[in-house]
């Protein structure tokens, strides 16, 4: 009775708990402690029903494993650690797009460089053509025996104006021949017993030396440049100076003698006076008078023909417009020079 009682007591509240298998202990240790049904929990002992131990503090709910896995997968798909994430995608896809854009930019740069090289080659070719043209223009080719000037009607003058320019060129050569023959006539008179033969010789030489270059620059080059550049003002200056030339030829054809230039012009009146002195001298002066007469007639024809050509190109109206443009251009250059 006593044994069973103390045994009961030993197996009860005051007794040692019965041993459990190790597997069950491990299972209990792994299993979370469930909250007791009582206020402070119940015990298997005798005092468990009367006095319940306080329950352990409530644990926080653990995150769902599926949610954590999904989040870890989300981090792997869009986080920092994956090439498919925010920075990974920009590093992978962005790198590919940057490579493609770099390739396209390089191709565009090569195309622009080729265009620039083509433009530079075209400009270089144009400059070479201009330099060759300028070199050709500045190349002296006239006269053939001793070139001192550039002169080329076939290359510089338009086809419609070549005829009048050639007519003026023939007039210039006619003046040169007449002045040479006129000086030769005075040389013949030096061997004759006449008065004023030395002053006449010097005057004839002066006409030759001054008349040839002045006629070239004053009226022939005006006609040449007017036809070449289609300049109405050059035509106007040609008419002014060529009228002086025509008057000079008419005067030389008549050759009214004065004291100082009694024999300086080989005209008809001078030729008649020379025939009274010497037949040879008179004949030479008659040939000179005929040359001056032909040149005067030709000069009258040239000035009329050039005027008809000039009127067909606009005439005086075009010359006035060119004068206005030239005046405006001069005023602009002066204003620009004052600003500088």
Mean pLDDT lowest among 9-13, 21-25, 64-68, 239-243: 9-13
Give pairs for 273-276: CB < 8 Å, separation 24+: 274/185, 274/189
Is residue 19 pLDDT above 60, yes or no? no
Is residue 232 pLDDT above 80, yes or no? yes
Q: What is the mean pLDDT of the chain?
A: 76
Domain presence at residue 73: no
Alpha-carbon dihedral angle through residues 7, 8, 14, 16, given to the nearest 10 degrees: 60
Contact 185, 285 (CB under 8 A): yes
Contact 189, 281 (CB under 8 A): yes
Can you tell me the mean pLDDT for 29-55? 43
Same domain, 183 and 134: no
Instruction: Tell me the range of 4-18, 86-100, 299-313, 314-328 where mean pLDDT is highest.
Output: 299-313
Instruction: Identify which of 203, 303, 335, 217 has the alpha carbon closest to the alpha carbon of residue 261.
Output: 203
Can you tell me the mean pLDDT for 162-176? 97
Give pairs for 56-60: CB < 8 Å, separation 24+: 59/32
Instruction: Identify which of 235, 208, 239 has the alpha carbon closest to the alpha carbon of residue 224.
Output: 235
Report d(CA 106, CA 312) in Å as an integer: 60
Report d(CA 99, CA 111) in Å as an integer: 18
Report d(CA 25, CA 40) in Å as an integer: 23
Same domain, 117 and 179: no
Domain count across the chain: 2
Same domain, 314 and 170: yes
Q: What is the pLDDT of residue 333?
A: 79
Same domain, 288 and 246: yes
Same domain, 236 and 113: no
Same domain, 125 and 191: no
Q: Range of 116's domain?
A: 90-140
pLDDT band at 315 (very low <50, low <70, confident <90, very high): low
Q: What is the pLDDT of residue 108?
A: 80
Mean pLDDT lowest among 40-44, 125-129, 136-140, 208-212: 40-44
Percentage of the chain surpassing pLDDT 90?
A: 42
Domain presence at residue 214: yes
Q: What is the pLDDT of residue 53?
A: 45
Is residue 95 pLDDT above 80, yes or no? no
Domain presence at residue 166: yes
Q: Output the six-digit token pair for 308.
A: 């008809």
Same domain, 133 and 218: no
Same domain, 104 and 173: no
Domain presence at residue 111: yes
Q: How many CA atoms lie within 13 A of 62 on its CB side?
A: 4
In sequence order, the 6+-apart residues with CB closer than 8 A to the CB of 157 are 165, 224, 227, 228
Domain presence at residue 152: no
Domain presence at residue 154: no
Domain presence at residue 332: no
CB atoms inside a 10 Å sphere around CB 175: 27
pLDDT band at 72 (very low <50, low <70, confident <90, very high): very low
Domain presence at residue 174: yes
Q: pLDDT, tens digit, for every residue of 173-225?
A: 999 999 999 999 999 999 998 888 999 999 999 999 999 999 999 999 999 99
Can you tell me the mean pLDDT for 48-53? 40
Same domain, 272 and 226: yes
CB atoms inside a 10 Å sphere around CB 245: 24
Q: What is the pLDDT of residue 225?
A: 94
Same domain, 297 and 256: yes
Contact 176, 249 (CB under 8 A): no
pLDDT band at 321 (very low <50, low <70, confident <90, very high): confident
Residue 149 DSSP SS3: strand
Can you tell me the mean pLDDT for 20-49? 44
Report d(CA 330, CA 333) in Å as an integer: 5
Q: pLDDT, tens digit, for every residue of 235-261?
A: 999 999 999 999 999 999 999 887 667
Is residue 135 pLDDT above 80, yes or no? no
H-run or E-run covering 68: helix 65-78
Q: pLDDT, tens digit, for every residue of 137-148?
A: 668 889 989 899
Is residue 85 pLDDT above 50, yes or no? no
Report d(CA 186, CA 208) in Å as an integer: 12
User: Which residues are paired to 38 by β-bridges?
Assistant: none
pLDDT band at 58 (very low <50, low <70, confident <90, very high): low
Pick the more confident residue, 131 or 264: 264
Same domain, 123 and 167: no
pTM: 0.59
Same domain, 166 and 312: yes
């Amino acid at each position: 009775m006593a044994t069973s009682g103390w045994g009961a007591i030993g197996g009860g509240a005051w007794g040692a708990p019965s041993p459990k298998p190790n597997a069950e202990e491990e299972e209990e240790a792994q299993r979370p402690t469930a909250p007791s049904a009582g206020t402070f929990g119940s015990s298997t002992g005798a005092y468990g029903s009367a006095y319940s131990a306080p329950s352990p503090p409530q644990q926080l709910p653990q995150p769902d494993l599926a949610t954590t896995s999904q989040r870890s997968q989300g981090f792997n798909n869009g986080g920092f650690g994956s090439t498919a994430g925010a920075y990974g995608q920009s590093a992978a896809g962005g790198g590919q797009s940057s490579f493609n854009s770099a390739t396209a930019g390089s191709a565009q740069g090569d195309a622009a460089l080729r265009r620039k090289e083509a433009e530079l080659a075209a400009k270089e070719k144009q400059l070479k053509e201009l330099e060759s043209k300028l070199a050709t223009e500045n190349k002296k080719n006239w006269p053939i025996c001793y070139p001192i000037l550039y002169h080329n009607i076939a290359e510089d003058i338009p086809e419609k104006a070549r005829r009048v320019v050639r007519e003026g060129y023939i007039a210039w050569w006619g003046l040169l021949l007449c002045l040479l023959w006129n000086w030769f006539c005075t040389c013949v008179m030096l061997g004759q017993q006449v008065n004023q033969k030395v002053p006449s010789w010097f005057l004839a030489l002066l006409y030759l030396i001054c008349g040839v270059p002045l006629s070239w620059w004053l009226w022939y080059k005006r006609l040449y440049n007017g036809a070449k550049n289609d300049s109405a003002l050059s035509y106007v200056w040609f008419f002014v100076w060529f009228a002086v030339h025509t008057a000079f030829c008419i005067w030389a054809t008549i050759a009214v003698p004065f004291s100082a230039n009694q024999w300086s012009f080989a005209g008809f009146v001078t030729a008649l006076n020379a025939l009274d002195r010497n037949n040879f001298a008179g004949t030479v002066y008659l040939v000179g008078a005929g040359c001056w007469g032909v040149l005067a007639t030709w000069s009258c024809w040239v000035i009329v023909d050039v005027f008809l050509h000039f009127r067909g190109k606009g005439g005086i109206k075009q010359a006035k417009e060119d004068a206005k443009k030239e005046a405006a251009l001069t005023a602009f250059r002066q204003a620009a020079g004052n600003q500088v």
